[in-house]
Structure 1
């Protein structure tokens, strides 16, 4: 664990730290839907600061004749941090053998930071230079009126668009929380589950992706999208009082689109 997290300064026992780490490992994978759908590179460590783009800038003058210079282009990693606080009394309960410790603030912070990562991957993040899957796609979004009964038709149309563009499968469907609930609870007139019908069309999974609005059908063939992580999600210490300990979840990452045409978005009109 990196020293910059300052965990050794926290009034938290080894047993309590283990409980916090275990809780984060349980909660985070559920919400990190984007990671299950794009290529993952890392973790490369806290000191890893930029992603090599394999490009250079324009020619600039050099302080000698017949010498040119060009600057390598990189994408800086973005540090993301979600703060939360826990009761010291609750944490002390761990050493007494308590099995019902209230870790709600950690769970909420895990969902917040996962939503930020998911949103950056799919929707993009202009402020940090990340172009997401949806804005990068050259395909027109497939629009619907909000009814999910025909969502399988929308997915079939998206898959057909990808195939016409030469993008092979299998395919996956990423859904924001509201759309995911509607799809997994939906069925056709004969009672056949909508999610099963969609999975048959895709040949791949339907993923719950908090931070995404609507849906995205994308290829799982690999090589189209890369999420690069420096420090993977870790818990650090900020400060404490007599009553509580202020902690945070932190990571650093960048995201690149290699094949813009490998995804089609589905949006409410």
Structure 2
């Protein structure tokens, strides 16, 4: 999380330096475990607030040069193709009384609304990466995966077999590991609570199959199996998640978490989606 962009207007907020530090630290602490998709995709950035698009490295042919150009026979023209970055802003509030308490040295500031905003911001990013965001021209891993979407089923003791078949499908298509399984919060709870016959933990069994990780992921539906080899998925970030200032009154300071990003799947074969 960064906090250096002038457009965030932080200098106009009635928040002393020590309180800004507490707010930034809390935002970072909350966001780090929630941004699960960043653990398995390539991160490009942060390019800053002025970064507007991700280059696709391709161009589209034009009919020709502008009308009225003499001697333009044989001239070839094209326009570069780019994918724009989307902007996300999630508002939250902090009471001025709490800011005063931070200045007094309170070690446990009440920043519950910041925690809520962090959950929302992280889920927006995760969901765009895994399930897409058509309005922002983002295709997610689940949308472009060429594989059938196998069902995990109600009996979680059958999940190791399903995951092993998924890993085998990736390997057969030349997609190396290690692999990670990103699962919704409810499925993750079932995994960590389940013991197989003989007392073997389901969580450990899945990790052994993957040679990677089982990752709790807010915003994902079901589970997504991906390769961690790198080079398959790119998260391009302009403004990394940062706290900015909106307004204030006698009792409350209105702030926000802001980010700009886009996402590209470079190798659709590197991900498999499991339904429930």
TM-score by length of 1: 0.97
Partner of 2:12: 9
Matched, 1:136 2:139: no
RMSD: 0.9
Q: Contact 1:151/1:183 (CA < 8 Å) preserved in 2?
A: no
Partner of 1:47: 50
**Larger deviation, residues 175-184 vs 247-256:** 175-184
Query: 2:212 & 2:108 partners in 1: Cα distance?
Result: 37
Matches within 5 A, 1:148-187: 148-187=156-195
Partner of 1:234: 242
TM-fit CA distance, 1:56: 0.7
* Residue among 48, 71, 81 paired with 2:79: 71
Q: Contact 1:225/1:259 (CA < 8 Å) preserved in 2?
A: yes
- Which ranges in structure 2 are unaligned for 5 or more consecutive residues? none
Q: Contact 1:148/1:182 (CA < 8 Å) preserved in 2?
A: yes
Q: Contact 1:148/1:183 (CA < 8 Å) preserved in 2?
A: yes
SS at match of 1:167: coil
SS at match of 1:15: helix
SS at match of 1:149: helix
TM-fit CA distance, 1:109: 0.5
CA-to-partner distance for each residue in 1:117-173, whole Å, 9 max, x for gaps? 000000010011000001110001111333322211111011011111111111111
CA-to-partner distance for each residue in 1:185-220, whole Å, 9 max, x for gaps? 212122211010000000111111100011011101
SS at match of 1:253: strand
**Larger deviation, residues 136-145 vs 253-262:** 136-145
TM-fit CA distance, 1:68: 2.6
Partner of 1:123: 131
Query: 1:146 & 1:86 partners in 2: Cα distance?
Result: 43
Query: 1:60 & 1:178 partners in 2: Cα distance?
Result: 53
Matched, 1:193 2:196: no
Query: 1:226 & 1:113 partners in 2: Cα distance?
Result: 18
Q: Contact 1:84/1:105 (CA < 8 Å) preserved in 2?
A: yes
* Residue among 207, 213, 224 paired with 1:205: 213
TM-score by length of 2: 0.95
SS at match of 1:187: coil
Query: 1:82 & 1:150 partners in 2: Cα distance?
Result: 39
- Which ranges in structure 1 are unaligned for 5 or more consecutive residues? none
Q: Contact 1:53/1:73 (CA < 8 Å) preserved in 2?
A: yes
